[in-house]
Chains A and B, each alone.
Chain A
């Protein structure tokens, strides 16, 4: 029981990070119907900017962890948002209206370009992040096993919940969210009603990138080590999460992230940690076969 609880706590933490990345996939898919394969790289860049941010904070002598975290969070979100915006503007928008595969190929190109850019600029060796937040407390002990919750885990889950709630509110209640949903449902009609479609699409990328940057920072703090390649695996897993939850669905992405986190951690905890990625991707295959629209997605009905 104690072991199970511990795994559950770890899984929720990991799931939160996946969920944050998955939102970017699902939003972009919802509005322009493409899988933004460069999204994982935006997450990776977010992690690197966070690392740089923490180092800057350190050299400026900001020793208070909460202040440093908030500063770095804002820094990473802003910079990554610019990346997200620039990627859309340069690699996808010129291809809008082109054949369906074109932006997808472009996305893969952007992904490789960004990986190589970070590899060149930051070096290929893994970078240690150092510990910003340490400590935690014992939840309970049983069977000679301590169930431990770290402060960091609490921060991760808290930040994620707050951001997801805020994001859901923006989409559901604000004028911005309304135009976003309108574009998602009928882009041409939205344009005819005076909605600036290009700007709305840019905004989607900006928001998705900002959330991915937060995930990057949390990842850096949680694992303590990053390299230029982390975006690939985390990106694919978050994509799996988005598909599992139903791509295009916002709560689906959050739920999917959580589930992928659970699957991965429990597989590693009870079976074998080498095969945890296999387990996660096996789920992707199964979902695609048996429920292509995902858990919360709506099946696409084609009118004849």
Chain B
């Protein structure tokens, strides 16, 4: 938790506003997230957290605002890019509140699909690959290797050939994150990764996220209700309420911020400590 302040901002969200007809879902929200750090976006239900994610990942076009990503590949204005470009070029990966693995495919295949752009490039679009060109086989071997690495990190090597839908819930959550990581993103957006996890699984998730921050050095943007996750691992927290940013800072500062306490429960402070 010492390094983060040195790095350049990875993504800058400036004056982001999203209106759906008369409803203002996000109102002039600005914040930044950095590489080598975990930034949490929290807030009561309906505060606009997922909408922020949907704007960043191209599901929505923001009404107003600029989203600048400065990654390894250069500078991208995310609000001007189309959905699949954000994944491919700007290298932003995301997961959803509900698990969206490919349930009928094996654990390994799930991780292979995520690397498929690389494979396609190596295969010169498919036919060469089918004919077993050497460049394709090398790429395929490298993809399997990366997948194996991630299976080790999430502790699922033994389950590589099981259908993903058969895994226990917590393992599915971890697999989903590993799959997102196999796209080799610079920014990983996780929408409530701890939802429905028991405390042990939740602790495993914490470890995984911390290792992604420290080992892979990418930026992690996190929506989470589970305060044991948020407070333990976040470097920076952005608090939304009714679409507005009401506080921002490190966990300690946010925890004692009166506006945050009011938004969550009126007055009592204990519930946030949870």
Residues of B within 8 A of A174 (CB): 129-130
Residues of A within 8 A of B179 (CB): 193
Q: Is the CB of B140 within 8 A of A175?
A: yes
Contact of A181 with B83 at beta-carbon distance under 8 Å, contacts A186-B100, A190-B113, A192-B57 already known:
no
Chain B residue nearest to A172 (CB atoms) is B109
Residues of A within 8 A of B129 (CB): 174-176
Most buried by A among B112, B116, B140: B116
Residues of B within 8 A of A262 (CB): none
Contact of A182 with B102 at beta-carbon distance under 8 Å, contacts A192-B94, A194-B88 already known:
yes
Judged by a CB distance under 8 angstroms, whether B104 is at the interface is: yes
A174 to B119, CA, bound (A): 10
Q: How many A-B residue pairs have CB under 8 A?
A: 66
Q: Is the CB of A194 within 8 A of B84?
A: yes
Residues of B within 8 A of A193 (CB): 87, 93, 113-114, 116, 179, 183
Sorting the interface of chain B by its residue count into under 10, 10 to 19, 20 to 34 or 35 or more gives 20 to 34
Q: Is the CB of A194 within 8 A of B105?
A: no
Q: Is the CB of B57 within 8 A of A194?
A: no
Judged by a CB distance under 8 angstroms, whether B232 is at the interface is: no
Scoring A residues 175 to 199 as 1 if CB is less than 8 Å from chain B, else 0, what string do you get?
1101101100110011111111000
Nearest Cβ on chain A to B86's Cβ, whole angstroms: 9
Contact of A195 with B102 at beta-carbon distance under 8 Å, contacts A175-B129, A176-B129 already known:
no
Chain B residue nearest to A174 (CB atoms) is B130
Judged by a CB distance under 8 angstroms, whether B44 is at the interface is: no
Q: Is the CB of A185 within 8 A of B84?
A: no
Scoring B residues 208 to 233 as 1 if CB is less than 8 Å from chain A, else 0, what string do you get?
00000000000000000000000000
Chain A residue nearest to B57 (CB atoms) is A192
Q: Which of A170, A185, A195 contacts B104 (CB 8 A)?
A: A185
A114 to B119, CA, bound (A): 37
A45 to B93, CA, bound (A): 44
A193 to B181, CA, bound (A): 10
Q: Is the CB of B83 within 8 A of A178?
A: no
A298 to B57, CA, bound (A): 33
Residues of B within 8 A of A178 (CB): 105, 109, 112-113, 116
A185 to B183, CA, bound (A): 19
Residues of B within 8 A of A182 (CB): 102, 105, 113
Judged by a CB distance under 8 angstroms, whether B117 is at the interface is: yes
Nearest Cβ on chain B to A290's Cβ, whole angstroms: 25
Q: Which residues of B contact A (CB under 8 A)?
A: 57, 83-84, 87-88, 93-94, 96, 100, 102-105, 109, 112-114, 116-117, 119-120, 123, 126, 129-130, 140, 179, 183
Given contacts A175-B116, A194-B117, 9 further A-B contacts (CB under 8 A): A175-B119, A176-B126, A178-B109, A182-B113, A186-B102, A191-B83, A192-B83, A192-B94, A195-B117
Q: Which residues of A contact B (CB under 8 A)?
A: 170, 174-176, 178-179, 181-182, 185-186, 189-196
- 14 A-B pairs in the complex with CB atoms less than 8 angstroms apart: A170-B130, A175-B116, A175-B140, A176-B130, A179-B113, A181-B109, A185-B103, A192-B57, A192-B87, A193-B114, A194-B87, A194-B88, A194-B183, A195-B113
